Amino acid sequence: MPDDITYGSMKDLKPGRFLLIDGVPCRVVEIDTSSPGKHGAAKMRITAVGIFDGSKKTLLKPSSADIEVPVISKKKAQVVSITENLVQVMDLDTYDTYEVPMPEELKGSLKQGSEVEIMESMNRRIISRVMSGGN
């Protein structure tokens, strides 16, 4: 079992939680549950959005089924430099520097020196939110 994946149950899912759909880490946005039928268990339709690419995905499984859950770590980092599509950040715990893609919704508002929160999962990183403004 890879270190970046754990397992959970469909019935434990709630909006805002994470799961893997087709190998893509996603955040649950909507859950529809059908009542059990004459010959089967209740089914759940999960609508989720990819964390890294923003793609909409759906998953239909019985409520008793197991699912894969990505292990997501959140870190604080400081923006070192900004180019058009990339942001170079420095991890505030380890002082490692690395580049992450510039989120579309933060273009123009992100400044050098800003403190940001980085979400990391399955060897990919993204800026999830801005903690404080820069200079």
What pLDDT is attached to residue 133? Answer: 66
Are 82 and 110 spatial neighbours (Cβ–Cβ below 8 Å)?
yes
Written as six digits, the tokens of 19 are 């799961």
What pLDDT is attached to residue 1? Answer: 42
Q: Label residue 63 by pLDDT band (50, 70, 90).
A: confident
Provide mean pLDDT across the span 21-28: 92
Q: Among 24, 22, 23, 42, which residue's Cα sits nearest to residue 32? A: 42
Coil vs helix vs strand at 12 = helix
Task: Report the first-to-last Cα separation within the chain, whole angstroms.
Answer: 44
The structural domains of the chain, with segments of one domain joined by +, span: 5-70, 73-132
What CA–CA distance (Å, rounded) separates 132 from 78?
Answer: 10
Q: What pLDDT, in 10s, does the model give residues 91-101?
A: 999 999 999 99
What CA–CA distance (Å, rounded) separates 110 from 103?
Answer: 10
Q: What pLDDT, in 10s, does the model give residues 32-60?
A: 998 887 777 889 999 999 998 889 999 99
What pLDDT is attached to residue 99? Answer: 93
Q: What pLDDT, in 10s, does the model give residues 77-124?
A: 999 999 888 999 999 999 999 999 988 888 877 888 889 999 999 889
CATH: 3.30.360.10, 1.10.1660.10, 2.30.30.30, 4.10.520.10. Which one for 5-70?
2.30.30.30
Which fold, 73-132?
OB fold (Dihydrolipoamide Acetyltransferase, E2P) (2.40.50)
Are 33 and 46 spatial neighbours (Cβ–Cβ below 8 Å)?
no
pTM, entire model: 0.79
Written as six digits, the tokens of 67 are 């699912």
What CA–CA distance (Å, rounded) separates 44 from 128?
Answer: 28
Distance of CA 131 to the CA centre of its chain: 17
Written as six digits, the tokens of 74 are 């959140």
